[in-house]
Amino acid sequence: MRTAVLGGGIAGLTAAYRLARRGVDVTLFEATDKLGGLGGWFKYDGYRLDKWYHVLLDSDAYLLGLIAELGLRDRVDWAETTMGFIVNNKHYPFNTAVDLLKFGALKPLDRIRTGMAALYITKLLRNGRPLDNEPAHTWLVRIFGRRVYESIWEPLLIAKFGDMRDRVPAYWVWNTLNREKNGSQEVKGYVRGGNAVIVDRLVEEIEKAGGRIRLSTPVTSISSNADGATLDVADEAVHFDNVVCTLPFSRLNKIADKALLSKIPQSSIDYQGVVNVMLVTRERLSRHYWTAVVRSDLPFQGVVETTHVVRPDAIGNRHLLYLMNYCRPDSDLYKRSDSLQIRDAIDGLGRLYPDFKEDSVADAFVFRAPFVEPVWPCGYLNARPQSQVIDTRVFLATTAQAYPMVTSWNTSVKLADDAISAMLGRESAVVSASTDAAALGNAAASIVNGAGTAPIA
C-alpha cells in the first residue's frame, strides 16, 4: 500500500511515523528545505531557536504521549508562568483573584463580574457545544457586559482574528478558556533543544522503519478517486494508494483538482497570518511569559518571552522575545518591511518598559506565516471536514479541522492519528495519548486562578 504524506510539519511527520511503523510504504513530501512547518526553527550561534514561540501545556495529552513514545519524556522542562496585561500603557499582572481585584483597566464592579463570569464558564458551564451556533461577541457581551467586552475581549479577539472576529463562534472561546484549566497554577513546558529534537526523533524513526522524506519537493497537483490518488511531484505524475494531506486549505486549494475540491467541505475557509518580530536579548524584559498589549504605544498585540520556559542557559544565556501581530497575509501590517517592524518593536518596548535598553538587543529577526489560524464560522462543528474526503483515497489532517480545539502541535498530532485511524481502521491505529501525559506536568490556567480571563494566544 503506497502512501504519500503532504507536508512536513508536525501533522505530516506524525502521520508518516505512524504509517511507517505499521509497515506502510510511505513517502513524505515537504515543499521547503526544512521540516517542522509552523513549529520550525533556525540556527543561531550553534543553537536552534523557534521562529514562532512554542511551548507545551500539560493538557497536551496527544503531543505528550508522542513525546513519551519517542523517549523524550525526560527532556521536558516545566516552568510556572504568569501573564500580564498592558492597557493604555499601564502594566497589570493578571493571574490571581487579587490581580483581578486590582485590575485598574476595569471599573470595580466589572472586575467582580469578570471573576464571576470566568468561574461560570470554567466551573459551571460544562457543555459548551450549544455555543457553536452563537457568535463569540454576542455571548461575551452577555456574560461579561459590554464594557468588559470592549476593554478586554474585543482586543483579544482582534489579536487573533482581526476584522473577521465577529464570525467566530462562542464555542471556540469556551474551549480556549477551558483548555489550560488543569490545575491551579499556569505551567508551560519545553523539550530541551526545542521542537527540532522532536522532529529529529520522528525522522529517525520514519527512516528506520523504511519511510522516505523528500525535502524541497512541493506537490503541485492532486486528484483522487475511490482507487487511489495521483500527485504531480517534480514534474512527474505519481500514483499512490492513499494520500494524507496536512496542508492548510489555502495551499490545498491551489493544487487540488476541481473534482476533489468540490468534495472537501469548507475548503474556502479564511486564514489569519502572523508576523513575529523576534528579539534575542541579553537581559530579561518582564516577569511574564505572555503580556497582552491593548491600546498602548507598542504596535503589537502581545509580547511573549519564551525564556521563562526555555532555559536561557541552554541557549547561551540569551533571552527570547516575540512580538506578534496576527493579521491577513495581504494586509499592510503583514507586508510592512522587516526594518520597520523591528524599529516599531524596539521603540515600543523602550516606551513601555523603562528598564529596556536597545543595546541589550543582540539580534532581531522577522518571521511571517500567511496561513496560521482558520477563521471559524458559526456552526463549524457540524460543517468541518472529516478525516477522509468522501469517495476518494485522500485523508485530511489539517489545521482547518482543529476546531473546537485550538491550533497547536497537540491538535495536529491528534488530527494525524485520526486520519491514520480512518485509513487503516480503528483497531490498527496507534493510540498516542498515553496516560503518562497527565503525569508530565502540573497545571495551567491564568483564567480560573482568579483573574478570570484567558490568553487567546
Q: Which residues bind ligand FAD (CB under 6 A)?
A: 6-12, 29-32, 37-39, 52-55, 218-219, 246-248, 251, 255, 274, 276, 324, 369, 372, 399, 407-410, 412
Q: Select 114 or 250, whichever has its Cβ closest to ligand FAD.
A: 250
- CB 187, min distance to ligand FAD, A: 13
What is the per-residue burial (b if ≥16 Cβ within 10 Å, else e) of 207-234? eebebebeeebbbeebbbeeebbbbebe
- CB 81, min distance to ligand FAD, A: 11
Q: Select 85 or 289, whichever has its Cβ closest to ligand FAD.
A: 289
- CB 138, min distance to ligand FAD, A: 27
- CB 382, min distance to ligand FAD, A: 22
Q: Select 31 or 141, whichever has its Cβ closest to ligand FAD.
A: 31
Q: Select 450 or 455, whichever has its Cβ closest to ligand FAD.
A: 455
- CB 16, min distance to ligand FAD, A: 11
Q: Select 10 or 366, whichever has its Cβ closest to ligand FAD.
A: 10
Half-sphere exposure in the Cβ direction for 180 (13 Å, CA): 30
CB-based closest residue to ligand FAD: 37
The answer to whether the CB of 435 falls within 8 A of the CB of 414 is no
Question: What is the DSSP annotation of 72-118?
Answer: -GGGEEEEE--EEEEETTEEEE-SBHHHHHT-TTS-HHHHHHHHHHH
- CB 214, min distance to ligand FAD, A: 9
- Alpha carbon distances (Å) from 102 to 210, 245, 275, 370, 449: 59, 48, 32, 38, 14
- CB 54, min distance to ligand FAD, A: 4
Nearest to 171 by CA among 130, 119, 115: 130
- Alpha carbon distances (Å) from 66 to 61, 82, 357, 430, 438: 9, 27, 41, 10, 13
Secondary structure element (H or E) that encloses residue 207, with its range: helix 195-208
Q: Select 307 or 412, whichever has its Cβ closest to ligand FAD.
A: 412
Q: Select 37 or 115, whichever has its Cβ closest to ligand FAD.
A: 37
Pinpoint the alpha helices (H) of 353-433: 380-383, 409-424
